[in-house]
Amino acid sequence: MRAETFDTKVRQALYAGRRWHPAEITFWFLAFAAFLLFPRNLLLLNEIAILALFALSLDLILGYVGIVSLGHAAFLGMGAYAAGLFAKHVGGDPLAGLAVGMGAAGLLGLVISPLVLRGTDLTRLMITLGVALILFELANSFGSLTGGADGLQGIVMTPVLGLFDFDIFGRTAYLYSLSVLFLLFLIARRVVHSPFGLSLRAIRDNPLRASASGVPNGRRLAAAYTLAAAYAGAAGALLAQTTQFVSLDVLDFHRSADLMLVLIIGGAGYLYGGLVGAIAFKLLQDAIATLTPQYWMFWIGLFLVLFVLGGREIIHGGVKVVARRLAALGKGRAR
């Protein structure tokens, strides 16, 4: 009887998580409507979509597994270089290049996952950072293949689905990146609200109890890490395809550091945190860089310090106050 009750509660929890809420539908409607609402800012919107996908990849392992990474840019760079080299030497089909980028980054994640998953948080930080630094030096050393410090040039992309050409205004780039983000988000949403996703959260909360319950911790964590790496590779492939250029910057430490800041702003562990954080971070970066081109990094740093110290609680508290007032107003009208 207790087993049946437990199974029923699990099924109910999975069903509740899979249901789409009005706020989610509104979010994605506005994301696609932005193509018409902000036609002059499509290049910026494309950067936001790519950063959001990159943040989503880290959220899969940080928010749902508890793995901290300071070298997540390794997978972004692997995906970018793989897609760029594929376009330059094999073919410029965007979807094929996207698959190559995801596959290369996913394979890298699978290979290094045993090293990452065995250690403590500090060990994981050092390993992920070390992998990113190794890839950076390799990309810099093999200049004949990657372009070295000059970057990988000569990337020419064919139209998406043979119909939509990439232009300098970012029309195709934004819709292409946003569509990939939306499809991969649907997959991630399905994964985290599945028994597999529940097992990941069980491992995060209490690995010993999860292992005693029969959950294969190592294989589940390796699968999650590989999936997150593939998602980061997709973001790198989109970056290479929409800019038609790949530089060593994709492997730089600041990419991983910015990603952590994005999740700090948006929050980890509910998928939308990376998306909301990417929007806030890029808009803030663009606005401050426009106002103070020389000192924009100082003001962003100051904002982030203040936000971490108390800004999130203020925002969340304000949202709760507004929600309570709206609820009270609704009750008053009902009477």
pLDDT in tens, 5-37: 545 555 555 555 567 788 888 899 999 999 999
The arithmetic mean of pLDDT across residues 258-274, rounded, is: 85
Reference 228, options 45, 74, 14; nearest CA is: 74
Distance separating alpha carbons of residues 93 and 296, to the nearest angstrom: 37
**Among 294, 313, 47, 132, CA closest to 124:** 132
Tell me the mean pLDDT in the region 166-195: 91
Taking alpha carbons only, the member of 315, 300, 311, 308 closest to residue 258 is 300
Sole residue written with tokens 């990309």: 139
Q: pTM value? A: 0.85
The stretch 103-129 carries a mean pLDDT of 85
Q: How many CB atoms lie within 10 A of CB 105?
A: 32
Whole-number Å distance between alpha carbons of 34 and 42: 8
Phi and psi (nearest 5°) for 230?
-65, -40
Residue in 234, 291, 3, 197 with CA at minimum distance from that of residue 100 = 234
Residue 178 has pLDDT above 90, yes or no: yes
Q: Are 236 and 78 in contact (CB under 8 A)?
A: yes
Give the pLDDT mean for 212-220: 82
**pLDDT of 141 over the 60 cut:** yes
Whole-number pLDDT of residue 1 = 44
Helix orientation angle between 253-266 and 73-89, rounded to the nearest 10 degrees: 120
Which range among 63-77, 159-173, 177-191, 308-322 has the greatest average pLDDT? 177-191
Q: Token pair of 168, please? A: 């300098």
- The predicted pLDDT at position 219 comes to 87
The pLDDT, as a whole number, for residue 314 is: 55
Q: Indicate if the pLDDT at residue 319 is higher than 90.
A: no
Amino acid (1-letter code) at residue 204:
R
Kindly list the distances between the CA atom of residue 312 and the CA atoms of 96, 308, 309, 316, 317, in Å, as whole numbers in the listed order: 41, 7, 8, 6, 8
pLDDT at 306: 72
> What is the per-residue pLDDT across 231-248, written as a single tens digit (0 to 9) for each?
999 999 999 999 998 988
Q: Is the pLDDT of residue 228 over 90?
A: yes
Is the pLDDT at 332 greater than 80? The verdict is no
Is the predicted pLDDT of residue 109 greater than 60, yes or no?
Answer: yes
Q: What is the pLDDT of residues 25-78, one digit of tens each?
A: 889 999 999 999 998 889 999 999 999 999 999 999 988 888 888 889 999 999
Q: Which two tokens stand for residue 59?
A: 């959220």
Query: What whole-number distance in Å separates Cα of residue 124 and Cα of residue 140?
Result: 24
CA distance 198 to 74: 27
pLDDT in tens, 196-206: 888 888 888 88
